[in-house]
């Protein structure tokens, strides 16, 4: 029983994580975004103060499109242990999360914004369905 508890703690500590993109979007919710951005009011300067430079910019129909992205991936501890002891063939389990903020600006004023978040869990090999 005690060995199982210790193993669970060790596996939890061994989980591998990686992240990329705009860290200011890491823990925000749609409600947080709606409080900080007001269509027709918020300026491009204010957006830069809040979220920095966008990951992508484009132009369409006289409007500027800004996209901010944050994504993270986490591999579970068991997957890492399997790799270490040579049982990687059993497969892996991982989870991915992404937050995407899209903003449309016209003459440096936000005219529309949207925020989406997604979470996916996947696996490979024998652990694909677990």
Tens digit of pLDDT for each residue in 51-82? 999 999 999 999 999 999 999 887 665 544 44
In the chain, % of residues over pLDDT 70? 65
pTM: 0.67
> Does the residue 3 lie in any domain?
no
**Contact between residue 79 and residue 119 where contact means Cβ atoms under 8 Å apart:** no
> Does the residue 113 lie in any domain?
yes
- Supply the pLDDT for residue 2: 46
**Contact between residue 66 and residue 33 where contact means Cβ atoms under 8 Å apart:** no
> Does the residue 1 lie in any domain?
no
Tens digit of pLDDT for each residue in 108-130? 999 999 999 998 876 665 545 54
> Does the residue 7 lie in any domain?
no
Q: Can you give the residue range of the structural domain that contains 82?
A: 16-125
> Does the residue 9 lie in any domain?
no
CA distance 27 to 16: 19
**Contact between residue 98 and residue 35 where contact means Cβ atoms under 8 Å apart:** no
Residue with the larger pLDDT of the pair 103 and 90: 103
> Does the residue 51 lie in any domain?
yes
Number of structural domains found in the chain: 1
> Does the residue 53 lie in any domain?
yes
- Supply the pLDDT for residue 100: 97
> Does the residue 11 lie in any domain?
no
């Amino acid at each position: 029983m005690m060995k199982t508890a210790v193993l669970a703690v060790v596996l939890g500590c061994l989980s591998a994580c990686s992240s990329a993109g705009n860290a200011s979007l890491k823990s925000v919710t749609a409600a947080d975004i709606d409080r900080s951005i007001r269509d027709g009011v918020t300026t491009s300067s204010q957006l830069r103060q809040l979220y920095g430079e966008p990951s992508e910019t484009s132009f369409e129909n006289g409007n500027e499109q800004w996209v901010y992205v944050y994504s993270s991936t986490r591999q579970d501890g068991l997957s890492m242990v399997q790799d270490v002891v040579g049982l990687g063939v059993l497969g892996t389990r991982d989870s991915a999360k992404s937050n995407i903020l899209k903003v449309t600006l016209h003459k440096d004023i936000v005219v529309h914004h949207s925020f989406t978040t997604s979470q996916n869990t996947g696996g490979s090999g024998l652990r694909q369905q677990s």
